[in-house]
Structure 1
């Protein structure tokens, strides 16, 4: 008998993927260059040449039996040590290899982190707007996702809402900074207050409430601003990272969990991840790509195009009368729709070959996401379509 739970999920497919599929189909009709596809967060710049060179060197000069064999259960020790050294140097931490576990991207990192600190039946709190896949990630670990409503004026944390959601059954708080979809990063003041709230709640409820920090966009920061590193603010932090965006290698599926050396059970987290991997199928990430990213830890792709696109798009949205927060990073912007129903707004946009994603699935109705990881020339070419859309449908512009 097939499992009803997953059969039911077929009726709740990702709206992001559905709109991306519409864009592809529309592109086959009129040419994809004529579809202004702001749907999918797929990096649009090539990986750095050093990454390609590292892969080529490893393939040419490493024993193929060793290179393509299973990696250790706890992943490659030399790679874990290199990641720890990089984090310590960049963020003033004191990780060692014993605190790093390599994973199949940020999704794999979250799968491990959630199971390390949450038992089935407990809850995890996150903040809208949030990445929609958090719900299946959390529920897949047997946990319940609780969502604090958005503080739309600045997309920082609504602490009154957080207090109402924390209870004796809370295992962790899950954050994403810089945030998908808003592009906003939590300030040092926000993270300091969050640490104080979690410390007090942990004392009140008699167990450690962990912070799970999802950071795939950490390196995409604008205006020379340094994104605060959450693990510096709160000891009980598990950092989940992916190289997908920083190195433009999402298909390689490589990331890590970093356990703050001062968290509860710091010496147990990585061995526990090794056991968790046995039951989740996230075990033994590619040895080739573990070794390749270890050679590129201080590198990124040329991410400047995202800031260029953001500045252009932000200025155009403001000119057309949209309410929108200026992103601190990522390659997303999250304006308020010009009507209460963002789904209707985005459907109307399709008539102008604009692919926009409504904010409902992000926990923020009335807003929409634009993923501007596309060529700058195409961003500029989308402006007449965007202007025509808001003029004809809403009398703006």
Structure 2
């Protein structure tokens, strides 16, 4: 028998909606031809890894030394952890050592390790909505409850609403910056105000609430936007990230956790997440790509093609009459469902399928009445979709 909670999850209406749409796209492409289906469902970065990464892969592939594919400490090779500490130090403006870092099997593994380490049954994780759909499962995996707090109309943090949800049960606040699906970047002032609210709650309840920053899109920003260095404003901050999006390595599953050295008992936190990585069955991050990343984490990447595609898709949506939030980072457009559909994003994305446009319903992201378009697709797909979008809106 399948476990009841797993059965409920896989049969729920919102289960794997993005993957489901992606798989439908494969069928539609076989039926109608690849160029006639406009698939904006999956956030799969399509830039090639930069030359520095390719060179590091080639160098490491030549290593045939004894033990090169063996186990290392569960937290990762010490020299790799030092390299990532250097990266995070530059981003946060605060010195870290390798002892503040643990290498993980992507950012998903990192989040699961953090939640397993800090959640007791019934503890809560507050998340501003919209948010990455898998967060619900990650919290539930470890007995936690995801508390969804709607953001303001411009997707900025509703700090008063967050404050009203804080209690002695709050183990963490989880923010995705830049945000998937909206592309919103939370400002430095927002992070400062959030820090003040969290410190007030910590003093009131006697419990440490962690600020967990999920930052795989940190480098993919537009119009000179910047992601705030949260370590500078809140001691109990944890960064989780990966090289999936910025270096276009999603399938290699290489990520990390970085804990603020000023946080509450940082050594115990690192011990906990290291233990969690082991008992969750990951054991350690992939040895080969740990070595690759140590040599290439600072590779320069040109993200301008994402901006070009963002702007082209926005122009098409403007022409079709579809409202959207202008993204400051990542590679998604979060769009409003037309009034005719009364906020039913599932019905509207089903309607778009009639015009061979595949989009992800916003309800799966905690954003009812919206839908997401991933523009990390070919320019040909974007330009080809213009007629379909315009026709779909004309026929409403």
Larger deviation, residues 30-39 vs 239-248? 30-39
Does the Cα contact within 8 Å between 1:178 and 1:329 map onto a contact in 2? yes
Q: Equivalent residue for 1:28? A: 30
Match of 1:342 among 327, 342, 345: 345
Aligned alpha-carbon RMSD (Å): 1.3
Alignment of 1:43-54 (within 5 A): 43-54=45-56
In 1, are the aligned partners of 2:178 and 2:330 still within 8 Å (CA)? yes
- Residues 1:110 and 2:126 are matched in the alignment: no
Larger displacement relative to structure 2 (48-57 or 171-180): 48-57
Structure 1 residues 254 and 313: alpha-carbon distance in aligned structure 2, compared to 1, 3 A threshold: same
Specify every segment of 5 or more residues in structure 2 that has no aligned partner in the other structure, as ranges: none
Q: Deviations over 1:212-267 (max 9, x none)?
A: 11011111101122221222221101100010001101010000000001011112
Q: Please list, as runs of the form range in 1=range in 2, the aligned pairs for 1:176-191 lying within 5 A after superposition.
A: 176-191=176-191
Cα distance in structure 1, aligned partners of 2:232 and 2:188: 10
SS at match of 1:88: helix
Is 2:157 aligned against 1:157?
yes
Q: Deviations over 1:79-100 (max 9, x none)?
A: 0001111222343111100100
Following superposition, the deviation at residue 361 of structure 1 comes to 1.0
Could you tell me how far 1:300 is from its partner in structure 2?
A: 4.7
How far apart in 2 are the matches of 1:352 and 1:230?
43
Larger displacement relative to structure 2 (99-108 or 158-167): 158-167
Q: Kindly tell me: are residues 259 and 144 of structure 1, through their superposed partners in 2, closer, same or farther at Cα, counting changes over 3 Å? A: same
Q: Give matches, 1:314-329, under 5 Å.
A: 314-329=314-329
Partner of 1:18: 20
Select the residue among 358, 367, 376 that pairs with 2:370.
367
Residues 119 and 143 in structure 1, CA contact (< 8 A), matched pair in contact too: yes
TM-score of the superposition, structure 1-length normalised? 0.95
**Correspondences of 1:48-197 after superposition (within 5 Å):** 48-63=50-65, 65-151=66-152, 153-197=153-197
Aligned residues: 391
Kept in 1, the 8 Å contact 2:53–2:293? The answer is yes
Q: CA deviation at 1:203?
A: 0.8
Shift of residue 109, structure 1, vs aligned partner: 0.7
The residue that corresponds to 1:243 in the other structure is 243
- The match for 1:296 is 296
| Structural mapping, 1:172-321, within 5 Å | 172-321=172-321
Query: Residue by residue, what CA displacement relative to the aligned partner does 1:21-65 show, whole Å, maximum 9, x if unpaired?
Result: 1111101111222210000011111111221221111121341x4
Contact map agreement 2:319 2:390 (CA 8 A) in 1: no
SS of aligned partner of 2:171:
strand
